[in-house]
Chains A and B, each alone.
Chain A
Amino acid sequence: GEDVEQSLFLSVREGDSSVINCTYTDSSSTYLYWYKQEPGAGLQLLTYIFSNMDMKQDQRLTVLLNKKDKHLSLRIADTQTGDSAIYFCAERGSNYKLTFGKGTLLTVNP
């Protein structure tokens, strides 16, 4: 079955880089996603990566994928207080539905 694991908390100082890690189990996953959720809001799609890629960069965001270890990470450069939110990793596997991790609460301290 599918399972996605994330650490629950991450605290960084403003201006530092943040790295949020995720592991998944479905070897048939072809697309992996990162979403951001701010208080009282829905999920905002940040970026996604196809499984035949090992890296994708989009402005301050860098996604790294290690398909062998089923490990995905999201790096946020120059983290700002506005980046404080919950970040969800999700995979879309063989049954097409999105399976989410529990989310990582990122706290950015000034």
Chain B
Amino acid sequence: KAGVTQTPRYLIKTRGQQVTLSCSPISGHRSVSWYQQTPGQGLQFLFEYFSETQRNKGNFPGRFSGRQFSNSRSEMNVSTLELGDSALYLCASSLSDGRNQPQHFGDGTRLSIL
């Protein structure tokens, strides 16, 4: 069974640009969550989607947005990129949004802002 797939693996952008990251969950998983990982702040929750609806949101500015499609694939978008957005962005999927459902992570997209 294929794991969580994130594309692209690496991305370089400049300040002010926007970026879209993609995540394909494990087959059959309907919940997708996004996290930002930086050396200073560690792993921080961005948002969670289930059945195309955002169920939960972390403390990030409105420049960070996401969506989920009917096939459970998800995208996240960051507009007006800032240097501080340089990070590893991780996507995780689970069968449902229940607390007893473990989240399985992809290898992430490493975003570098110049």
A and B: bona fide binding partners: yes
Give A residues with C-beta under 8 Å from B: 30-31, 33, 35, 40-45, 48, 50, 88, 92, 95-103
Contact residues of A: prevailing secondary structure:
strand
Chain A residues, CB < 8 A from B102 = 31, 33, 45, 48
Check if B54 is an interface residue, CB within 8 A of chain A: no
Residue pairs across A and B with Cβ atoms less than 8 A apart, 14 shown, are A30-B100, A31-B100, A33-B102, A33-B103, A35-B105, A41-B108, A42-B4, A42-B108, A43-B92, A45-B105, A95-B56, A98-B35, A98-B103, A103-B42
**Cross-chain pair count, CB within 8 angstroms:** 52
Q: CA–CA, A45 to B42, complex, Å?
A: 17
Measured CA separation A92–B97 after assembly (Å):
11
Residue among A41, A43, A88, A102 with max Cβ neighbours from chain B (10 Å): A43
Interface 1/0 per residue, B85-114 and A, CB below 8 Å? 000001010000101101111111000000
Q: With A and B bound together, what is the CA distance between A49 and B55 in angstroms?
A: 24
Q: Which one of B43, B58, B106, B108 has the greatest number of beta carbons of chain A within 10 Å?
A: B43
A100–B90 Cα distance when bound, in Å, is 13
Residues in B1-39 with C-beta less than 8 Å from chain A: 4, 6, 33, 35
Question: Does B75 interact with chain A (Cβ within 8 Å)?
Answer: no
Q: Which residues of B contact A33 (CB under 8 A)?
A: 102-103
Query: A96-B48, A96-B56 are contacts. A42–B105 as well, Cβ < 8 Å?
Result: yes
